[in-house]
Amino acid sequence: MKAIVIHMAKDLRIEELETEKPGPGEVEIRLAAGGICGSDLHYYNHGGFGTVRLKEPMILGHEVSGHVAALGEGVSDLAIGDLVAVSPSRPCGACDYCLKGLPNHCFHMRFYGSAMPFPHIQGAFRERLVAKASQCVKAEGLSAGEAAMAEPLSVTLHATRRAGEMLGKRVLVTGCGPIGTLSILAARRAGAAEIVAADLSERALGFARAVGADRTVNLSDRDGLVPFSENKGTFDVLYECSGAQPALVAGIQALRPRGVIVQLGLGGDMALPMMAITAKELDLRGSFRFHEEFATAVKLMQGGLIDVKPLITHTLPLGEALKAFEIASDKGQSMKTQIAFA
Ligand SMILES: [Zn+2]
Ligand SMILES: [Zn+2]
């Protein structure tokens, strides 16, 4: 089988690897679709991010779907041919955080395609993937591409939980890439009354409107959010998806007292307007990965309650993986680029 392997920045290869056999409780999946994520792009363009660096070749990818091709012993809830979304979240189930019900904080997390631990955790961009049946969520009724969107959608469902009450709230989303636009869909589904989306790119804002943002603000106008900052601010919740300090600062000015900041964007450490956070009694909350939200993401798409299709802009065959990574790296072209494995 072929797999997409990163050796170092800009050294991406399609390599031939041995196929594995599914053990007890596992299934073999014939991969169908794989979405390229920001973290894959960091490995591809820079060989890592922050202190996380590639130290050995690693298969990329963690946003995948496929068809069940073989069943290991004892697997009864899946059948050969089923389309499944495969969760990359593989907590150990036994550490303190797993036992506290916080599996996304597992000490021994084996999240696909991550160079955080060494040896690196190999990813899922391979023609055949052996996974635990418990990672697989049946996705009948969805396209393979939609099923592969369950992962980034889960990230934003988890963030929505971190935000707390959403019904009737006024929401600001800064940064309208895949996570920002999916946050708009998640916030709306959770009952947000008004959603304003902000970005530097008019093209990104077009996607924000397409998925239901009520208003958009182009932040290349530095004062774009000033009208929302009057009377101590307008918004109850900020989804900060850009990782850019100017967006966070402008968003904080536009939050009401007791507003909630959910930080999703990872752009490195930054200085914060601590005076405003303190005086407006704002809550600053991180959000990282997900776990049980994965199955919810599939169900919301299956029920037609969230439509991610407008965000899938490019689908390229495995043989054009390199081109797919180049397109995905170009925000002027791509929202979500996926690789078709079959
Ligand atoms: Zn991702
Ligand atoms: Zn654990």
Report the predicted TM-score, pTM, of the whole model to 2 decimal places.
0.97
Share above pLDDT 90 across residues of the chain, in percent, rounded to a whole number = 97
| Residue 208, C-beta contacts closer than 8 angstroms, at least 6 positions apart | 173, 176, 180, 181, 184, 197, 199, 216
Give the up-direction half-sphere exposure of residue 301: CA atoms within 13 A in the CB hemisphere: 30
- Residue 179 Cα, ligand 2 centroid: separation in angstroms? 26
In this predicted model, what pLDDT tens digit does every residue of 243-300 receive, in sequence order? 999 999 999 999 999 999 999 998 788 999 999 999 999 999 999 999 999 999 999 9
For position 266, what pLDDT does the model report? 86
Three-state secondary structure call for residue 76: coil
Three-state secondary structure call for residue 189: helix
| Residue 52: pLDDT band with limits 50, 70, 90 | very high
CA distance 315 to 323: 11
Average pLDDT for 293-316? 98
Do 12 and 319 meet the contact criterion of CB atoms below 8 Å apart? no
Q: How far is CA 119 from CA 55, 122, 263, 289, in A?
A: 8, 9, 29, 21
In this predicted model, what pLDDT tens digit does every residue of 215-230 receive, in sequence order? 999 999 989 999 999 9
Ligand in nearest proximity to the CA of 63: 1
- Residue 115 Cα, ligand 1 centroid: separation in angstroms? 14
Among candidates 198, 266, 267, 186, which has minimal Cα distance to 227? 198
- Residue 337 Cα, ligand 1 centroid: separation in angstroms? 12
Q: Is pLDDT at 209 greater than 90 in this prediction?
A: yes
For position 340, what pLDDT does the model report? 98
Q: Is pLDDT at 80 greater than 90 in this prediction?
A: yes
For position 258, what pLDDT does the model report? 98
- Residue 155 Cα, ligand 1 centroid: separation in angstroms? 8
In this predicted model, what pLDDT tens digit does every residue of 17-50 receive, in sequence order? 999 999 999 999 999 999 999 999 999 999 998 8
For position 342, what pLDDT does the model report? 85
For position 30, what pLDDT does the model report? 98
| Residue 192: pLDDT band with limits 50, 70, 90 | very high
- Residue 73 Cα, ligand 1 centroid: separation in angstroms? 30
- Residue 106 Cα, ligand 2 centroid: separation in angstroms? 4
My answer on whether omega of the bond before 119 falls inside 30° of 0, hence cis, is: yes
Phi, psi of 8 (to 5 degrees): -160, 180
For position 91, what pLDDT does the model report? 96
Mean pLDDT score across all residues of the chain: 97
Ligand in nearest proximity to the CA of 109: 2
For position 330, what pLDDT does the model report? 94
